[in-house]
Amino acid sequence: MKKSLLCVLLTAVLCVAAVAPMAGCGNNKNDGDTQVLRVVAHTGQDSFLEPFFEAFMEENPDIRVEGLYGVDQYQELDTNTPPDLLFIGTGQLADYPQVFEDINVVIDEYYDNDAAKISAFKSQFMDGLLDYCTYQDKLMILPNNVNVGLLYYNKDLFDAAGIAYPDNTWTHDDFIRVGKQLTKKDDNGNYTQWGCSTTGGWWGEYLIYVRQYGGEFYKADGKTPAMDTPEFKQGIEFFKNKCVGENKFAPNPGDTSVGAGALGGFISRATAMEFGGHTGNWVSYNALQGFNWDVEVLPTPAGKPDARGGELALEGWGIAKKSKNKTAAMRLLEYLYTAEGTELYSVSGKLMPTKAFKEKILSTPKAERPVPQNMEAVFEEMERGIPLPANPHFTYCAQAPVWNNIQNYLNGTVSYDGFATASITAINNYVMMQD
């Protein structure tokens, strides 16, 4: 019987290297007064955060932690009791940089500018990840979860067809070939099984292809839409060929005809693969009894084995500039990366971004791991992943303005040039109204 994801996470975190409280302001008490540390989190996270906070308070009786669940943290900053720790993902770092303290400054003060202690704290994290938590030279968050796009596959559907599982040598050609083999119709021409799902409505899939072909959402200045570049066109054309035409092995979200529906996506178990799926789906997939799945690195264009494209996203806590309890906030963040703190936090299924966490998982034989077992692919894709553009308008523009025009292109109502022109016009009009 496979162990649960929770089991391996609980085991893995026991070996996370703890950084003990060090000299300097990290050891300072507040003259016996209890400091109230207000921490923002998502709705529903109290189930694992409250035990985490309780354990921290037992070791730090001069600090009382209050969880603020599901609140608008930016509105809360304008109250008489603003939050101290703000929760944000790296995709939103460009939205409100002015409200975050530079954690580098806090860390320097916390460790009395001791270079060895500062280095010891930062060296816990996987190489390069803190760079993605930085915006305009400011370290805005310390990460507590990593998410990356991967190729997901249903092992039972591959086994039933006698097809070998994907591996890290797969190209787009392999993806198409196997996807077509795993796509099925009934006698009436209705699709009963898809080779792959389609992610519509946002950038989750289409932007990966664009990036793998060497493109980006914006041009080099980070502001000019890049839909009129040949690389963007290659990526979107591959996306279309997957959903429309003779190579079709995935549903077209805009096709409402009978028998052409999505069949519930990858989680329905009537779809063999999902391209660019996120690690946040693991808990849902593993909640389905008998769902036999795993992951692999993303297939790349033929001749481009090192092509990068999968989204790398981190989330974590940042210290509010308005906070009067920055030392207490740093003490909680420091505790998060101790063995005890990481164990309590990661019961939620989070992938902690520490080297020790990674090393423990990879030291377990693959056959003894829970699903997903191919964690080598997860960490390899983390190294290849790309964060979202640091543009405050990206999140909106990559959804409605661009996706709506992609759908028109998939449906054949506009040419590619028509798609590109309409998308660029929509983005520029939106930015003009916002600025």
Domain boundaries, the chain: 5-147+312-363, 150-310+390-434
Q: Are strands 293-296 and 191-193 parallel, antiparallel or unpaired?
A: unpaired
Q: How many residues does the chain have?
A: 435
Angle at 205 between CA 406 and CA 139, to 5 degrees: 115
Residue type (1 letter), 374: N
- Which numeric CATH code is attached to 150-310+390-434? 3.40.190.10
Structure confidence at residue 32 (pLDDT)? 53
Structure confidence at residue 343 (pLDDT)? 86
Distance (Å, rounded) from C-alpha 100 to C-alpha 93?
Answer: 9
Structure confidence at residue 349 (pLDDT)? 81
Residue type (1 letter), 244: V
- Which numeric CATH code is attached to 5-147+312-363? 3.40.190.10
Angle at 28 between CA 22 and CA 30, to 5 degrees: 155
Per-residue pLDDT of the chain (435 residues; tens, 9 = 90+): 444 444 444 444 343 334 444 333 433 344 458 999 999 999 999 999 999 999 999 999 999 999 999 999 999 999 999 999 999 999 888 888 999 999 999 999 999 999 999 999 999 999 999 999 999 999 999 999 999 999 999 999 999 999 999 999 999 999 999 999 999 999 999 999 999 999 999 999 999 999 999 999 999 999 999 999 999 999 999 999 999 999 999 999 989 888 899 999 999 999 999 999 999 899 899 999 999 999 999 999 999 999 999 999 999 999 999 999 999 999 999 999 998 998 899 888 889 999 988 988 899 999 999 999 999 999 999 999 999 999 999 999 999 899 999 999 999 999 999 999 999 999 999 999 997
Structure confidence at residue 134 (pLDDT)? 94
Helix (H) or strand (E) holding 192: strand 191-193
Where are any strands of DSSP class E within 205-292? 273-277
Q: What is the dihedral of CA 5, 10, 11, 13, to 10 degrees?
A: 120
Do 150-310+390-434 and 5-147+312-363 fall under one CATH topology?
A: yes
